[in-house]
Amino acid sequence: MKSSIRAILCATALGGFCGTAAADPVADFYRGKSLSMVISSSAGGGYDALSRSIARHIAKHIPGQPSVVPRNMPGAGGIVANKFLYTSAPRDGTVMGGLQNNAPLEPLFGTKEADYDPTKMNWLGTPSIEVGLLFVWHTSPFKTLEDVKIREMTAGASGVNSGPAFYSRLMNEVLGTKIKVIPGYPGQNEAYLAIERGEIDTYGLTMWSSLTSVKKQWLTDNKVRVLLQYGPEKEPDLKDTPFADDLLKNEEDKILFRAAYGPLTLGRPFVLPQDVPADRVAAVRKAFMEMIKDPEFRAEAEKQGLLIDSPRSGEQLQAEINRLYSTPPHVIERLRRIYHAR
């Protein structure tokens, strides 16, 4: 009799689901599906290595455990992939992207081709922030940053308005260096080969995480000399290398430089398109941060030299992007002048 009364009460109060697991609409959606991971760079680089590693490990943390299939979509320094995610990708949570960190800020820098609004997209997080480097081959005549202020240094870049070209001009503007941009290198791998051959002195934008993952042997064998580091934080392993923020005396230059290295603050950003249902965004964001703590993922990252030591959540990235897009207009104007210089 008591059992019958309890059953009636359960059925009445809980719609008949007493004693059974509540349905999970996110798991129901993802179960049996294939989720695409759009990678904004070509195969073989640091972005590609990290994105493929995440594709292998994030699925087990997403409710329903969908398969995750990497798909390279290089072009225009990440703009092609970011534009695809914003305009063409399904907005149901079945497509995510691993973007080069300049791509979310190209509209801020006034790039006409970047006709998308990153503040509307759903940022998932980054395994680490980035530290930018100015480095040369060990046989280079450039021994210190002061040498780059005296004689001309050549820096490879994909195009005149690419990230590597921009940072080269930025250093000329605020630090007084003499860096000449040499466009025409499709990516960092091609530029790195040119550095080894002595064709160019440096690559305009190299991140510490790229060297540790793609060219770790260079560091082990002391094949490169790092002249400068810049970004939101100093790299602990480069304690004897000058930090750009410490060298800037003019307050206006400091504001400019900190806005300019906004991409480095975004690290290696991962994102879902806008308008994805909120519960799926929340679930994938949670899965991303759980994956960062996953021992198997961390072991693979360490083996490959991938830096995952300073993660930021999707909410943190969203706030940082909103902050950057609130940069004072006069700073944005100066940024755009440097970025689009010929």
Residues 137 and 235 in one domain: yes
Residues 140 and 220 in one domain: yes
Residue 322 contacts residue 119 (beta carbons within 8 Å): yes
SS3 content of the chain, % helix, strand, coil (to 5): 50, 15, 35
Range of the domain at 299: 22-128+267-326
Q: What's the pLDDT tens digit per position in 125-148? A: 999 999 999 999 999 999 999 999
Q: In the chain, pLDDT over 90 holds for what percent of residues?
A: 75
The answer to whether residue 13 is domain-embedded is: no
CATH of the domain at 174: 3.40.190.10
Residues 91 and 49 in one domain: yes
Residues 151 and 242 in one domain: yes
Residues 112 and 203 in one domain: no
Over 70: is that where the pLDDT of 303 sits?
A: yes
pLDDT at 99: 96
Please tell me the distance from the alpha carbon of residue 274 to that of residue 76, in angstroms, as a whole number. Answer: 21
**Mean pLDDT over the full length of the chain:** 91
Of 83, 117, 94, 91, the residue nearest 32 (C-alpha): 94
Over 60: is that where the pLDDT of 7 sits?
A: no
User: Average pLDDT, stretch 55-64?
Assistant: 98
Residue 218 contacts residue 116 (beta carbons within 8 Å): no
Residue where a domain stops, chosen among 212, 240, 263: 263
Over 60: is that where the pLDDT of 15 sits?
A: no
- Measure CA 150 to chain center: 33
The answer to whether residue 9 is domain-embedded is: no
pLDDT at 20: 44
Q: What's the pLDDT tens digit per position in 238-250? A: 999 999 999 999 8
Q: Binning pLDDT at 50, 70 and 90, where does residue 17 land?
A: very low
The answer to whether residue 336 is domain-embedded is: no
Least confident of 21-25, 70-74, 174-178, 204-208: 21-25
Helix (H, G, I), strand (E, B) or coil at 181: strand
Residues 149 and 253 in one domain: yes
Residues 238 and 143 in one domain: yes
Give the pair of three-digit tokens for residue 105: 């800020």
pLDDT at 275: 98
The answer to whether residue 97 is domain-embedded is: yes
- Number of structural domains found in the chain: 2
- Measure CA 297 to chain center: 18
CATH of the domain at 308: 3.40.190.150
